[in-house]
Amino acid sequence: MDKHDNVKLIIGLGNPGAEHETSRHNVGFMALKRFAEKYFPMPVGKFKSSVIIKGHTKEGRLILAWPLTYMNVSGRAALELRAYFKIDPESNLLVVHDDMDIPLGKIKVSVGGGAAGHNGVSSIIMAVGAKFARARVGIGRPVKTDGSLPQGINVDYVLRSFAREEEPDLEKGLELAAEAINSWLNEGSALTQMRYNKKTRERTRKVAEGQSVPAPAREGAEGPSGPDPAPKGAEGQSVSAAGGAEAFPAADGENSPEAALSAPPGALSPPEGDASA
């Protein structure tokens, strides 16, 4: 088997630099980092325009990537990774990104389609086509003074950090996203969509109809029934990205995606583009 056979690539979208680290537009970075911490704690390195983690799963190789190109030219990093590792976008690419049309604390998994105004997704579509899977992490929309939800992209809103009162829902969304990434990796898009999309649709409908929707309890947190179990595999075992790490130098001496991505943009790669929505 060629060294590039059966390589899965997961790209988290965001903007590099400490000033963007906690912004709504960076939940793609955050969610992939959460997945790496829970399921794939491997050394961090750099490949061309991305911070990456690489290793092996039961099915083959896995590459996690955080582009350093800024959001609106994320396609450059995706194209570099696809070309070198010979990725088939239709079956082996998952892009994790923020979505204003999904409430904070919820996620949705989809395959194909347009960019819905998201410049990072649009850039990747232009680079590799549209038939890849997406893990869309909800950030919600800003609420007007009359209680209505504005349409269109609000640049100031997506580049703003989360409020303290939103942190419980943010944690909920990041945990769900990490679980969904793990499910996609081990079980594919169809089963992952069935598992994670139903509750999101119901909550989105209620918000659109102006109904009051309580903040969801964190799944996996200790409660009356204890923590929620991880998805189970065919033999009833918790599914995880297990395997072995490849020897890989840390990026600029740092050993976590967060540290690498928080560095000044020019420290790891000359940035292009800007931090637009």
Active site residues: 25
Query: Which residue did the predictor score with more confidence, 120 or 260?
Result: 120
Per-residue model confidence as pLDDT tens digits over 175-192: 999 999 999 999 999 999
pLDDT digits (tens, 9 = 90+) for 122-172: 999 999 999 999 999 999 988 765 655 566 567 888 999 999 999 999 999
Residue 230 has pLDDT above 70, yes or no: no
The per-residue pLDDT for range 39-83, each reduced to its tens digit, is: 988 889 999 999 999 988 887 899 999 999 999 999 999 999 999
Q: How many CB atoms lie within 10 A of CB 102?
A: 22
- Separation between Cα atoms, residue 28 and residue 119, nearest integer Å: 13
Reported pTM = 0.75
Percentage of the chain beyond pLDDT 70 is 66
| Burial (Cβ within 10 Å: 0-12, 13-18, ≥19) of residue 89 | buried
Catalogue all structural domains in the chain, each as residue range(s) with its CATH number.
7-141+164-212+249-268 (3.40.50.1470)
